Amino acid sequence: MIGFVNLFKSAGPSSAQAVARVRRIYALQTGERDLAAGHLGTLDPQAAGVLPVAVGKATRLIPLLPNQRKSYACTLVLGRSTTTQDAHGETVAQVPVPPNWPALLEETLPSFVGRIAQTPPMFSAAHHQGKRLYELARAGKSVERKVRKVTIYGLSLLGIERPNVARLRIACSEGTYVRTLCHDLGASLEIPAHMGALLREGSGPFVLYEARTIDEIAAEPQLALIAPEYIIPFPTIVLDLRGSADFRAGRVVPLPEGATGKHVFVRDESRTLVGVGEALGALLAPRKVFV
């Protein structure tokens, strides 16, 4: 089995728990007890939305995926900062919110668009000396974190809720911490802040309106499975019986005429996906082979 699933993860389960449920669905369907599955970018337990999942041999294609831009909608809550930078953390600071904060926020938003620096929060899955930061944080430890550069492609104010809550839409590069963005927006306004609700609306080619719930996937697993060609923009070539046999054996084969692109999906005469090849002049070298 090979393919991707556009899962709608509800708030509550972790990304790993959601992937495990998807894996069980397809393992039961195929009878493969050791079926592989993996997600393409962690979504925090309290967050909902798009969680792309690679199923079966598609997990081997994850390194070939292009840069996965993300899009989110979230709420920014002003007046209180927390240890986790979201609503579930302990209060660090709490102050009254000035009445003119919406105007101040609108003035500040453009300064966060473009290439910006972020420090990963202690309650995150980033690594420090072989351990997850959240493991250290739960043990009461705080360590120096390396500042990373991320890109905010778009940041807009969708509306105001209640006296201290704003709704935002964010388009950003992978690796962006939305809760850190909310915290830093508050710091720029000199008002403690944290992220409230979070909805991932898109991750690369996976979009919210096409996402399926666990129940929908379980009801029609084959319909939920997306072929790799729809996710990774490589052209597809078809090899004859001898060519596909050589390719499967890891041997270089002649590149069919008219083939374009550095990498191509390779299918045999029965249209079974046999792997990914790399064009080397007039030859095609196997890079990923699905035996």
**Which CATH number do you get for residue 60?**
3.30.2350.10
**In contact, 59 and 41? CB cutoff 8 Å:** no
Tens place of pLDDT for every residue, the chain, 291 residues? 899 999 999 999 999 999 999 999 999 998 988 999 999 988 989 999 999 999 999 999 998 887 789 999 999 999 999 999 999 889 999 999 999 999 999 999 999 999 999 987 756 556 545 666 556 556 565 666 688 899 999 999 999 988 999 999 999 999 899 999 999 999 999 999 999 999 999 999 999 999 999 999 999 999 999 999 999 989 999 999 999 999 999 999 998 877 777 899 999 999 999 999 999 988 999 999 987
Q: Same domain, yes or no, for 132 and 173?
A: yes
Q: Same domain, yes or no, for 101 and 191?
A: yes
Q: Same domain, yes or no, for 101 and 170?
A: yes
Q: How far is CA 279 from CA 144, 233, 258, 268, 284, in A?
A: 44, 15, 12, 17, 5
What is the rounded distance in angstroms from the CA atom of residue 38 to the CA atom of residue 49? Answer: 16
Query: Is 44 an active-site residue?
Result: yes
Q: 80 CB contacts (<8 Å, ≥6 apart)? A: 91, 93, 94, 192, 193, 194
Q: Same domain, yes or no, for 277 and 179?
A: no
pLDDT reported for residue 291: 74
For tokens 């970018």, the residue is 41
Q: Same domain, yes or no, for 81 and 196?
A: yes
**In contact, 50 and 41? CB cutoff 8 Å:** no
Query: Which residue among the candidates 34, 44, 215, 246 is catalytic per the annotation?
Result: 44
Q: Same domain, yes or no, for 15 and 88?
A: no
Identify any residues that bridge with 166 across adjacent strands, giving them in sequence order.
76, 160
Q: Same domain, yes or no, for 155 and 212?
A: no
Count of CB atoms within 10 A of residue 231's CB?
22
Q: Same domain, yes or no, for 9 and 40?
A: yes
| Number of domains within the chain | 3
Domain that holds residue 114: 70-203
- DSSP classification of residue 212: B
pLDDT reported for residue 135: 62
Amino acid at 74: C
Amino acid at 128: H
Say if residue 142 is exposed, middle or buried (CB neighbours under 10 Å; 0-12, 13-18, 19+). Answer: exposed
Token pair listed for 53: 């999942």
Q: Same domain, yes or no, for 45 and 134?
A: no
CATH number, domain with residue 241: 2.30.130.10
**In contact, 11 and 57? CB cutoff 8 Å:** no
Amino acid at 41: G
Q: What pTM did the predictor assign?
A: 0.88
pLDDT reported for residue 257: 79
Q: Same domain, yes or no, for 81 and 172?
A: yes
